[in-house]
Amino acid sequence: MNQDIYVVIEHVQGKVAEISYTMLAAARELAQGSGGQVVAVLLGQKAQKLAETLAADKVLYVEHPALEEFTPDAYLTVLAGLLGEAQPRVALLGSTTIGSDVAGGLSERMNAPMVSQCQKFQVDGGAIKSVSKICGGKIMAEIDLPETTTLVCMIPGGYAPEDGQGQGASVETPAVPELEGLRVKLTSYIEPEAADVDLEKEPILVAVGRGIQNEDNIELAQELADLLGGVVAGSRPVVDQGWLATSRLVGKSGKSVKAKLYLALGISGAPEHVEGITGSETIIAINSDPSAPIFDVAKYGVNIDLFDLIDPLLEQVKTAKG
Amino acid sequence: MNIIVIASLVPDLVEELEIDSSGTALDTSWLRMIINEFDDHAIEQAVLLKERSGANVTVMAIDQEGIDEVLFTAAAKEADRLIKLTGDFGEGANSHALARVFAAAIKDLAPDLILTGVQAHTNLDGAIGPLLAALLEMPFVGYVAGVKTADGKVIARKEYPGGLTGEMEVTLPAVMGVQASEEPPRYVAVSKVRQAMKTASIEELPAAALDPSGGLNVSRMYRPEAAGRATMIEGSEEEIAEKLIELFKEAGAL
């Protein structure tokens, strides 16, 4: 094992995913502790220019037509070879639709332990602790990283992505392994349907979560949104139930919003949702669970049963509007 | 098509979570356990595939208190076969160990497709799906929100940030981590579950011994500190509403 910190860069449709920069920022902190280098691993086809934005000491760029866009089989094959040979101190992957697809396979193939849901590291010389956020953000788990090569899947929130952006990394092009007989092929991307609203551009959002309880109650949120000149958005459970269109989903698989006012009604604040709202100016959370993680990101919170508050609130908003 | 769905229980996050006296694990003695919601979606997706193009659906789980109800509920949704793996799943039952247990049990069942939830909120050393796929030397696709069959292959709709979807053509046999089924998981009446308890049966298979290697040492578990916590608004409903009106005005919403 060496002391380098490897970061598996994620990109979709020619754009580097923000989590990659977050991981590069984390990698810098780890490398300062371990005394190794930050090495970015970039897989792609005609994607070398993406290397120019990565704050790494070195970029390993693997080019192959089968790597033009992410597929789990091709990435796993390349990364197992590359990381298996390099045996870095730590390899960082996103806790994302890309990283999570391959980390488990890498762990088995490399016989390397893996950590999920890491938000932050605590570095003390060579000793590294991962702080993972689990149980929908309600529990933190500190894990002593084993002293062998370890894979870590990261969630956003612990490091500033800007700190992972930079230039001047040297680029090396390692040999490409055989990529025949791949069992997963990307046939197409389907762009989200043109929606009635673009949540990313809406200044006022009234967002509902599981606490809204049933489809009929969405109307209450809609009424409030109408009065405030905003639109209704939602977290995963509400969209999965079919109570709101997918275009209204905020969070990991949905939109990252930058609202002036984000009113979270009955949203617990799981990390998957929170990563989509932190760009908002004022977050106000209303939730009946005093330990809901949403209160850790909101500016203002109300610990109350939503249905006790909604009627007086609607009344007063109507009065205020005259 | 032969489909296996792997289901498990997780603590209900609506309940207060406590840390046990070791300070390194959840106190499970009072926890209310419910089906991992992503596994529920995996079951629904399997049943949808069965309805559309015919399939034999097996739901498999390790023995946990409350798992029988989950299995019978799956039977009430027309799952064909229920398998419970028995053994000691206390100490060392991390994702790596459980993936090995499932891999050993599945090897001889010759599935075409294995569906499981994309993750469980308690996972610390990865989700079961990708580990299982590696052990069975099958391809894996996660964050799946829809599966269709086509000429001995399947087309999986994979979710990307921002609402983007990727269509992945996957050679079978394969493992998939389900994020959401195409339709919301169906509701089954308690009476139907009761009926399934009488007509369906759960096969018990002894699980292989746990091998937790690849797992982790948790040195501390705690609830997040209240750093940067929201300013809490208190008072009667009317007083709270008044304060919120002020905040709405400040934010330019009124």
Name the token pair of B247: 């905040």
**Contact flag A143-B224 (C-beta cutoff 8 Å):** no
For B182-226, the pLDDT digits (tens) are: 999 999 999 999 999 999 999 999 999 999 988 898 999 999 876
Question: In chain A, which residue's Cα lies nearest the Cα of B242?
Answer: A316
Nearest to A115 among B163, B216, B220 (CB): B216
Give yes or no: residues A129 and A37 share one domain. yes
CATH of the domain at A306: 3.40.50.1220
Alpha carbon distance B124, B46 (integer Å): 26
Residue A187 domain-assigned (yes or no): no
Which chain A residues are within 8 Å of B131, Cβ to Cβ? 104-105, 107-108
Q: What is the CATH number of the domain that holds A128?
A: 3.40.50.620
- The token pair at A179 is 């990529």
Enumerate residues 6+ apart whose C-beta is below 8 A from A11: A17, A20, A42, A44, A47, A50, A70
- Do both A210 and A164 map to the same domain? no
Q: What is the ipTM of this complex?
A: 0.95
**CA–CA dist B76, B83 (Å, integer):** 15
Say if residue A306's pLDDT is above 60. Answer: yes
pLDDT, tens digit, 9 for 90 and up, residues A193-237: 877 899 999 999 999 999 999 999 999 999 999 999 999 999 999
Each residue of B57-85: pLDDT tens digit?
999 999 999 999 999 999 999 999 999 99
A139–chain B Cβ distance below 8 A for any pair: yes
Does A59 reside within a domain? yes
Asked if B164's CB is within 8 angstroms of A189's CB, the reply is yes
Domain count, chain A: 2
Contacts of A317 in chain B (CB under 8 A): 245, 248, 254
Contacts of A46 (CB under 8 A, 6+ apart): A63, A68
Does A307 lie in the same domain as A211? yes
Say if A184 falls within a structural domain: no
C-alpha to C-alpha distance for B216 and A150, rounded to whole angstroms: 10
pLDDT given at position B226:
60
Within a domain: B254: no
- The residue of chain A nearest to residue B26, with distances taken between CA atoms, is A139
The answer as to whether B70 is a domain residue is: yes
Q: Do B251 and A254 touch (CB under 8 A)?
A: no
Closest residue of B to A306, CA-based?
Answer: B237
A with B: how many residue pairs have Cβ under 8 Å apart?
A: 285
Measured between beta carbons, the chain A residues lying within 8 angstroms of B246 are none
Does residue B231 belong to any structural domain of this protein? no
Q: How many angstroms away from the CA of B212 is the closest CA of chain A?
A: 10
- Which residues share a beta bridge with A282? A261
Instruction: Note whether residue A26 is domain-resident.
Output: yes
> Is residue B157 one of the residues assigned to a domain?
yes
Task: Report which DSSP code applies to A214.
Answer: S
Task: Report yes or no on B233 lying in a domain.
Answer: no
Give per-residue pLDDT as tens, A246-278.
999 999 999 999 999 999 999 999 999 999 999
Do A43 and A81 belong to one domain?
yes
Asked if A190's CB is within 8 angstroms of B164's CB, the reply is yes
CA distance B197 to chain A (A): 27
CATH number at residue B153: 3.40.50.620
Domain around B30: 2-206
Residue B251 in domain: no
Domain containing A46: what range? 5-172
Residue A185 lies in a domain: no
Looking at the structure, do residues A81 and A213 belong to the same domain, yes or no? no
Nearest neighbour of A97 by CB, restricted to B126, B131, B158? B158
Residue B115 Cα, gap to closest chain A Cα (Å): 14
Give the other-Cβ count within 10 Å of A260's Cβ: 16
Q: Domain check: are A118 and A81 in the same one?
A: yes
In this structure, of A28-37, A59-68, B21-30, the range with the lowest mean pLDDT score is B21-30
Is residue A79 domain-resident? Answer: yes
Question: Closest Cα of chain A to B177: distance in Å?
Answer: 9
Check residue A251 and give left, alpha or beta (phi > 0: left; psi -120 to 50: alpha). Answer: left
Task: Please answer yes or no on whether A302 and B118 come within 8 Å at the CB atom.
Answer: no
Residue A179 pLDDT grade (very low, low, confident, very high; cuts 50, 70, 90): very high
| Mean pLDDT score, A280-308 | 96
Q: Do A101 and B143 touch (CB under 8 A)?
A: yes
Are residues A157 and A205 part of one domain? no
**Which site among A114, A260, A299 would you substitute to test the B interface, given the most B Cβ atoms closer than 10 Å to its Cβ?**
A114
Per-position DSSP letters for A236-298, written without gaps between them: HHHHHTTSS-GGGBBSTTSBPP--SEEEEES----HHHHTTTTT-SEEEEEES-TT-THHHH-
**Residue that terminates a domain, selected from A172, A190, A215:** A172
Average pLDDT over residues A167-188: 95
8 Å CB contact of A313 and B244: yes
A157 in any annotated domain:
yes
Q: Are B158 and B144 in contact (CB under 8 A)?
A: yes
Give B227's pLDDT tier (boundaries 50, 70, 90): low
C-alpha–C-alpha distance, residues A77 and A61, integer Å? 15
Q: Is residue A151 part of a domain?
A: yes
Residue B161 is assigned to a structural domain of this protein: yes
When divided into structural domains, chain B yields a total of 1
Residue B242 is assigned to a structural domain of this protein:
no
